[in-house]
Amino acid sequence: MWDGKLAELSKEFSAVAFIDTLFNQAFSKNTSDIHIESIEKGIAVRFRTDGILHKVTEVTHENAYHVIARLKVLAHLDVSERRLAQDGKFSFIKKNMPVDLRVATFPSLYGEHLVIRILDRSPDYFSIEKLGFLPDSKEQFCNLIKHSHGLLLVTGPTGSGKTTTLYSALNLINHQEKHIITLEEPIEYSFPGITQAQMRPEIGFTFATALRSVLRQDPDIILVGEIRDYETAEIAIQAALTGHLVVSTLHTTDAPSAVIRLIDMGVRSFLINATVTGVLAQRLVRALCSECRIPGSVPAEYQLLAQRFGVILQNVYEPQGCAHCYNTGYRGRIGIFELLRVNTEIKELITRRPSYQQLYDAAVAGGMRTLLHDGLLKVAHGLTSLSELARVIG
């Protein structure tokens, strides 16, 4: 357990006091998700902090119902409905600022499983400066998002920070003279000055149908939450061709794979060349705690690997753990990035329907820094550890 206070509250129980303390502890630890998991003897509570789940406490069976019921009331959900999944949301005050909380319930063997996503509204939360770009990559990415037209893609698995990167990009270019429209599923954060639309597939309001309507709203910049099929890709590309900047995401493992995915969807190569300006692939790694990190050694195989990229691993650090980082050795997360810019050489290659390896080799030859290369540089700069990089990249 991270803090005995929750355990004490579970003895002389008040659901209201328990939940208030739960939220305050989650906020202090920069937790992104709270898991309330029904187990045979009650509920278990876990925090996802810096991408890792940590067990916090358990609540007995006789008190578990009151916790779940209180959370469902706060989220405006049906307390009596335990057989179906439900979604809701509410706000909680943190340091005189509202924090949005999104609640999702799910029926499981021993009862309901609740996951509470914490959505920070801090003014500086969506900042390009905080994403973890190295200076040259940040400059290149900022140049791409300031284009007046074209298609810019961000790729990576679920939980790799794609939404945060896209919101930070929009935050940078959100000016009064620009009309920005977003198509999202779901809308996680609200932005002043931006028109945001929630997709509702159950009534036919999908990314593809919404994108057709958006083009009649005189937008300058369009964010499409995800390109999932040929129809959405085709309309997004048409929007980019007609003078709009379109930003979106794809679920691919790296940047070159995004181009191959578009080709496999059936998008014609000349349309990719005419619209796609760049692809950013990313992952999130935990940042070493600056208060307690300690010098570490570098195994020979990592030295050889780093030498392939021209990276010198001299002053590397390992996690230790202290009160500042709650004995994890890490505090916060940063991105590792792979930015593929579609230059003349890449365009010529795309017209020939290249294999993945051909495209990858051409991208690296053209200056693309791979995810592994970027991660090794961040290890060399003391920002993260070799073990954390290995955990994320594999």
SS (H, E, C) 158-224: CCCCHHHHHHHHHHHHCCCCCCEEEEECCCCCCCCCEEEEECEHHHCECHHHHHHHHCCCCCCEEEE
CA 200 to chain centre: 22
Q: How far apart are CA 119 and CA 153, in angstroms?
A: 23
Q: How far apart are CA 357 and CA 189, in angstroms?
A: 38
Q: How far apart are CA 199 and CA 365, in angstroms?
A: 40
* Nearest residue to 54 via CA among 21, 87, 32: 32
Q: What is the pLDDT of residue 1?
A: 43
Cβ distance 393 to 387 under 8 Å? no
Cβ distance 380 to 314 under 8 Å? yes
Within 8 A by CB and 6+ apart from 368, the residues are 255, 338, 339, 340, 341
Give long-range contacts, CB 8 A cutoff, 24+ apart: 71-80.
71/19, 71/36, 71/103, 71/114, 71/116, 72/103, 72/105, 74/19, 74/101, 74/103, 75/101, 75/103, 77/103, 77/105
Both tokens assigned to 121:
């509204």
Say whether 275 sits in a helix, a strand or coil.
helix
Cβ distance 388 to 336 under 8 Å? no
Q: How far apart are CA 325 and CA 322, in angstroms?
A: 6
Residue 330 identity: Y
pLDDT < 50 positions in the chain: 1
* The total number of residues written for the chain in this structure: 394
- Return the ∠ at Cα 45 (arms to 43 and 50), rounded to 5°: 160
In the beta sheet, which residues pair with residue 94?
97
* Nearest residue to 258 via CA among 349, 361, 340, 357: 340
Q: How far apart are CA 133 and CA 336, in angstroms?
A: 7
